[in-house]
Amino acid sequence: MSMSDEARGSAPKRVSKPKTKKSFKESFIPQKGDSQSEVISKLIVIISIIVLIACAVILGNYFYEMYEAKQNHKTLKVIYSQAQQSVLSTETSDAVTETPSDEPVQETTPEERIPLPTLPAAMELLAINPDTVGYVQIPNCVDEPVVKGTDNDYYLNHNFYGNQRQCGTCFADHRSYDDGYERSDVVTLYAHNQKDGTMFGNLDYYRWDPAYWLKNPFIYYNTNYSEDAYVIVSSFVINTKPEHDDNKPVFDYHNYVDFNDNYTFENFYSEISKRSTIITGVECTAEDKYLTLSTCSTEWDDSRHILVARKLRENESTDTFDTTKFSKNPNPKWPAIYYKYNGGSYIEE
């Protein structure tokens, strides 16, 4: 005869309480009574979630700004090109043959000068942004309106519509000038090296591909008063810090606005010629006008890629200009940091 549990004196079986599902608050928010390890684990989860959300917002904003910049680029391009086409159509239909006048052109003093008529295409952009000073084009490479602010900082992170954006706007150095009668010896244009190809994102083609240069040797820069063409005479990569070139003085290309005793044409031309990856053989003088395009490069931190172009003279045209003398420079001058990573050295000639 078996003894009962009571007779054996064994303890009664424990009945476990059913587990209750924790709420979100209890699972992720530190609660009173939590152990130190639980508090730390919950804090790590909270911080991770916040970081993830912040990254998603930043990434989303980045792609939105890229999309917006692309759309703005297309819109402004259409506005400008349609205004140009409208003018061309009007000029063609109203064209008449004029008899050249034998009377000499009368020189005017600055006090006597009246503002020149603004190009209709420029007026379309001026209506959107009164800081507009021109429009720069390289076929299948650059197609951007140009503005000029009161400094060289504002348009680094503001778009053509004045909204704060990382892509910024193509802008002219604030020290340059062009009233239709007179302009600075060198006009420098700045824009970001955008990965989507807008702004100066496609100028990289000129860094390494001589064939591309030969196919696209001209820059078309229309001011508010005139439509001009420039032949590219130099392309080079420059350092912005002395320590990247054995602490030698930096070639401050951007400070060449008007040639003078401190910023001579001779030094300007010597530097852009020695550094250029292409030899053009194009004649350049102090009387010519120059256009410089400046953007960030990727060779090292704070490097810049520079294009310098000379305005075509009255007896020159893009249809007849001789580019057969263009050739690859076997010995371009690079900053010391380039040779440090790539080997070689510059041979002074």
Any idea what the CATH number is for the domain that residue 136 is in?
A: 2.40.260.10
Q: What is the pLDDT of residue 169?
A: 95
Band (pLDDT 50/70/90 cuts) for residue 4 is low
Q: Quick one: tokens of 102? A: 């034998």
Band (pLDDT 50/70/90 cuts) for residue 96 is very low
Provide, rounded to the nearest whole percent, the portion of the chain with pLDDT above 90: 53
Residues 6+ apart with CB under 8 A from 30: 38, 39, 42, 43
Asked if residue 305 is part of any domain, the answer here is: yes
Asked if residue 40 is part of any domain, the answer here is: no
Q: What is the pLDDT of residue 9?
A: 54
- 261 versus 74: the higher-pLDDT residue is 261
Domain count, the chain: 1
Asked if residue 60 is part of any domain, the answer here is: no
Asked if residue 5 is part of any domain, the answer here is: no
Q: What is the pLDDT of residue 16?
A: 56
Average pLDDT, the chain: 84
Out of 12-16, 192-196, 211-215, least confident range: 12-16
Q: Quick one: tokens of 295? A: 């953007």
* Contact by Cβ (8 Å): 196, 208: no
- Tokens 């490479």, residue? 141
Record the pTM: 0.79
Distance CA 37, CA 34 (A): 8
Under DSSP, the state recorded for 28 is H
Asked if residue 53 is part of any domain, the answer here is: no
Residues 6+ apart with CB under 8 A from 166: 62, 65, 157, 192
Asked if residue 109 is part of any domain, the answer here is: no
Asked if residue 99 is part of any domain, the answer here is: no
Read off the pLDDT of each residue in 239-254 and give the average, rounded to a whole number: 94
Asked if residue 321 is part of any domain, the answer here is: yes
- 18 versus 1: the higher-pLDDT residue is 18
Read off the pLDDT of each residue in 313-322 and give the average, rounded to a whole number: 93
pLDDT at 128 over 70: yes
Band (pLDDT 50/70/90 cuts) for residue 14 is low
**Each residue of 16-48: pLDDT tens digit?**
555 556 665 666 677 777 777 777 777 787 787
The boundaries of the domain holding residue 131 are: 119-342
pLDDT at 183 over 70: yes
